[in-house]
Amino acid sequence: MKYRVLAINPGSTSTKISVFDDTESVFVETLRHEASKIAEFEGIIEQYEFRKELVLNALTKHNVSLESIEAVVGRGGLVRAISSGTYKINEKMLKDLQDPAIWGRIHASNLGAFIAKAIADERGIPAFIVDPVTVDEFEDIARISGCPEIERQSLLHALNLRYCGISIAEQLGKNFNDVNLIGVHMGGGISVAAIKKGKMVDVNNAVLGMGPFSPQRAGALPIGDLLELAFSGKYSHKELVNMFTKTGGLIAYLGTDHGGDVVKRIEQGDKKAKLVFDAMLYQISKEIGACATVLKGKVDGIFLTGGLVYNNYVVEVLKERTSFIAKSFVIPGEKEMEALTQGSVRVLKGIEEAKVYK
């Protein structure tokens, strides 16, 4: 039996939606929102009715009746740290998604659960989230930072990494819970995760502070120089956060976060572009090597995913540096809509049990 699932993935100025019949796409669309319209709302959560109506209008435009939908799934957002899987949306989750104190901010993806539950409740069908960025399956040893006041945290592209990991395990003819993998998601930020028997037991902080630099983020920085910069009086705290998370990495060095543009510059003989781009891939390779030590060298496969993987230059350099560890698999692009859908379908079919958010 096929299940029809509506998936909702809000971003700061867009809402991506899709309807799938199991693995078969009915439609995928990105609804763009004018910044001036978004500015009319007091906060992010207050946008949910506005975005909900746009989602319902899109269903009508694509001739998909609400009555044909059997589950609604939203992007998880900044919930409390939880294990991976598919969760029923409940009032405790919605309360936490409105609390900026939990993670220091409210992200647009938090809206996914509100929109999904509102639409699902109208139909009397299940509403879920799947593998939010706050998935935390760290082993205790991975939490120690070297400073008692600071604990290492799990923040990663969990949705895409777990979905792709399940796919790679199937290609290997094995169950996801029986394999050791190293997953590398490469987009504006980069997550390199050690996946041990189906659990993401260690990962660099893909937002701020650890791992390789990325198209937009600065990655790990020398602490002494960072302290000098922070106390130089030249920058506010907000300016430094923006510098390290939105205008760092490739943007800071080369003025662009588009990997394809950088490779074109390399092909045209731009030596600086090659040095910086190769340095990013060098750092990603080092992180893959670090994950191999977490798994004690027992690695069934490495998989590369995200927007940067469309670029053959990226894939070949990473394979060259890491082929001694394990075979690499390539899944280009982000599979977030498929991942949201399949997380729901696995529950609807009884393959997995929906978890309860506490």
At 144-179, the pLDDT tens digits run 999 999 999 999 999 999 999 999 999 999 999 999
- Looking at the structure, tell me whether residues 302 and 246 fall in a common domain: yes
Q: Could you tell me the pLDDT band of residue 35, with boundaries at 50, 70 and 90? A: confident
- Looking at the structure, tell me whether residues 110 and 226 fall in a common domain: no
- Looking at the structure, tell me whether residues 128 and 266 fall in a common domain: no
Residue 146 lies in a domain: no
Q: Could you tell me the pLDDT band of residue 189, with boundaries at 50, 70 and 90? A: very high
3-state secondary structure of 140: helix
pLDDT exceeding 90 applies to what percent of the chain?
Answer: 96
CATH of residue 53's domain is: 3.30.420.40
Residue range(s) defining the domain that contains residue 293: 173-326
Residue 148 lies in a domain: no
Q: Could you tell me the pLDDT band of residue 352, with boundaries at 50, 70 and 90? A: very high
Split into its structural domains, the chain has a count of 2
Helix%, strand%, coil% for the chain, nearest 5:
40, 20, 35
Per-residue pLDDT, 305: 97
- Looking at the structure, tell me whether residues 109 and 217 fall in a common domain: no
Cα→Cα distances 147→104, 143, 152, Å: 21, 11, 10
- Looking at the structure, tell me whether residues 298 and 344 fall in a common domain: no
- Looking at the structure, tell me whether residues 88 and 207 fall in a common domain: no
Contact by Cβ (8 Å): 23, 338: yes
Per-residue pLDDT, 207: 81
Taking residues 224-243, what's their average pLDDT? 96
pTM of the model: 0.94
pLDDT exceeding 70 applies to what percent of the chain?
Answer: 100
Residue 153 lies in a domain: no
What is the C-alpha to C-alpha distance for residues 108 and 11, in angstroms, rounded to an integer?
A: 5
- Looking at the structure, tell me whether residues 195 and 320 fall in a common domain: yes
Q: Which residue in 163, 99, 106 sits closest to 131, CA to CA?
A: 163
What is the C-alpha to C-alpha distance for residues 252 and 214, in angstroms, rounded to an integer?
A: 10
- Looking at the structure, tell me whether residues 320 and 352 fall in a common domain: no
Taking residues 239-261, what's their average pLDDT? 96
Tokens of 225: 């120089």
Half-sphere exposure of 302 (CA within 13 A, CB side): 26
Residues whose CB falls within 8 Å of the CB of residue 107, separated by 6 or more in sequence, listed in order: 44, 77, 78
Residue 60 lies in a domain: yes
- Looking at the structure, tell me whether residues 215 and 247 fall in a common domain: yes
Q: Which of 101-105, 315-319, 348-352 has the lowest mean pLDDT?
A: 101-105
Per-residue pLDDT, 132: 96
Average pLDDT over the chain, rounded to an integer: 96
Contact by Cβ (8 Å): 330, 309: yes
- Looking at the structure, tell me whether residues 259 and 345 fall in a common domain: no
- Looking at the structure, tell me whether residues 214 and 256 fall in a common domain: yes
Contact by Cβ (8 Å): 66, 56: yes
User: Bridge partners of 50?
Assistant: none
- Looking at the structure, tell me whether residues 178 and 75 fall in a common domain: no
Residue 59 lies in a domain: yes
Residue 331 lies in a domain: no
Tokens 């139909």, residue located: 123
pLDDT over 90 (residue 283): yes
Per-residue pLDDT, 219: 96
